[in-house]
Amino acid sequence: MEAISIGLLGLGTVGSGVVKIIENHQDKLMHQVGCPVKVKKILVNNKNKKRDVEIDEAILTTDPEDIISDPEIDVVIEVMGGIESTKTQILKALYNKKHVVTANKDLMAIHGSELLKVASENGCDLFFEASVAGGIPVLRGLVDGLASDQIVKIMGIVNGTTNYILTKMSNFGSPYEAVLKEAQELGYAEADPTSDVEGLDAARKMAILSTLGFSMNIDLEDVKVKGISQITEEDIRYGKQLGYTMKLIGIADRVDQKVEVSVQPTLISDSHPLASVNDVYNAVFIYGEAVGETMFYGPGAGSLPTATAVVSDLVGIMKNMRLGVNGQSAVTPQYEKKLKDPSEIYSKYFLRLQVKDEVGVFAEITSIFSKHGVSFEKILQLPVKEKGLAEIVLVTHAASLQDYEDVLQNLEEINTVKTVKSSYRVEGGTK
């Protein structure tokens, strides 16, 4: 079998890693697929830029057509990012009967179903393992390893930047702004960190995971999103006192074919494995009806971990080429999308209130919770510096989101509650 020719769109952090792995692992690739693999052309913005990987300048181009329209190129690997212009180029590659590997979670979360349909119609593979959780083979685990099971819940830490920030805030009591600045200096956070810290990056990954795990088309707008920028050192400290660790958690939950998908700061029980996933590491917990609990853990970003996932997808495509089954792996969603309404979403909740420090206040608050059928699991009452005020920190038993939101609204309306300081979902531990 002749050498397989690759066209690479992008030569940044991940692109450089892909080139290194293809060069350094030729023996393994030959053994896996029975032929050499060569990078024929690489799209870059600037041919003269200094890079951390040695490249023959003759294979560099600034024109994507040199890759997309080259009949000798078998597989296009997209690692440049972007959405609309990148979508146009990938569509053109698929129409030109080229297989595609992408690490682009933004693109796949928004246009994935359309691109997979075009790939299938043109007998092409479109693989995107690297779009979620870097080097962790979680998509392959979901689609292949757990193919025979019914997935009921996916829960995970899928953004390394926010996990790094929350780890530092938890371990050192540092304020959010200071840790964000440190993360930017270390290159973990972008100059504009909005996508990470407001949960958008994690939401895109949860849309992909839930679409594959539940076999239904989950769109980005179906994911309820809340970021970490409002978390305070007090929230983390009080959570610790009650036995919880603060994490930005993506949750996709299915009950009777109805689903909820969210990304939000969550207090995880210290006994739960996700509580000990620190720094830039990612982890995804998958609950199957038959298998029970499985967890995928590893580096969620970085040049070589992400490039490993890209090249693994490339190996999958090349094996399919040998078998003559390209374009047959995409499975259209089996179920119609049905989203839970707030009365069907159950969880425990952490709540911090500042209240007037006077007789009868706690009884008034308790009656509001009782009216909506929400009971307490844990309670802390703490003095505050401001005279005449007290702080109440509590964790509820499992309650519907609807009942909990009604409680919050009622609390806002009574004059004995000065302010609702914070509120978070609680996961892990006893129900």
pLDDT at 330 over 80: no
Bigger pLDDT: 81 vs 329: 81
On whether the CB atoms of residues 216 and 117 are closer than 8 A, the answer is no
Average pLDDT for 21-28? 91
Which of the residues 205, 247, 340, 348 is marked catalytic? Answer: 205
Domains and CATH numbers, the chain: 4-134+303-323 (3.40.50.720), 138-298 (3.30.360.10), 342-426 (3.30.70.260)
pLDDT tens string 149-159: 899 999 999 99
- Please give the Cα distance from 68 to 89 (Å, whole number): 7
Band (190; pLDDT cuts 50, 70, 90): confident
Segment among 69-73, 120-124, 138-142, 250-254 with least mean pLDDT: 138-142
Work out the average pLDDT over 359-365.
91
d(CA 178, CA 186): 13
pLDDT-derived band at 264, boundaries 50, 70, 90: very high
Confidence check: pLDDT of 241 > 80? yes
pLDDT for 413: 92
C-alpha triplet 95, 304, 209: angle, nearest 5°: 60
Tokens 């393994």, residue located: 28
Q: In this predicted structure, which of 24-28, 49-53, 219-223 has the lowest mean pLDDT?
A: 49-53
Tell me which residue of 143, 142, 104, 96 sits closest to 122, measured CA to CA: 96
The model's confidence at residue 186, banded by pLDDT at 50, 70 and 90, is confident
Rounded (5°) CA angle 84-85-91: 90
- Write phi, then psi, for 419 (nearest 5 degrees): -160, 145
Radius of gyration (Cα) for the chain, nearest Å? 24
DSSP 3-state assignment of 170?
Answer: helix
Give dist(CA 172, CA 35) in Å, integer.
52
Residue 205 falls in the annotated catalytic set: yes
| CA pair distance 413, 416, nearest whole angstrom | 9
The string of pLDDT tens digits covering residues 7-18 is 999 999 899 999
Confidence (pLDDT) at 145: 81
Q: Which tokens hold the place of 421?
A: 């300081």
Predicted local distance difference test score (pLDDT) of residue 168: 96
Q: Is the pLDDT of residue 431 over 70?
A: no
- CA distances to 43, 139, 215, 252, 338 from 223, in Å: 34, 18, 16, 9, 13
Encode pLDDT of 386-404 as tens digits.
888 999 999 999 999 999 9
Flag whether pLDDT at 332 surpasses 80: no
| Distance, CA of 358 to chain centre | 45
Residue type, 14: V
Cβ distance 75 to 6 under 8 Å? yes
Q: Which residue from 388, 394, 383 is spatially nearest to 358, judged by alpha carbons?
A: 388
Crossing angle of helices 160-172 and 233-241, rounded to 10° = 70
Q: Quote helix, strand, coil % in the chain, to nearest 5.
A: 40, 25, 35
Query: How many Å apart are CA 315 and CA 312, to the nearest integer?
Result: 5
CA distances from 135 to 282, 307, 373 (A): 10, 7, 44
Q: Is the pLDDT of residue 192 over 70?
A: yes
Can you tell me the mean pLDDT for 265-289? 95
| Interval 122-142: pLDDT, tens | 999 999 988 888 778 888 888
Distance (Å, whole) CA 197 – CA 156: 16
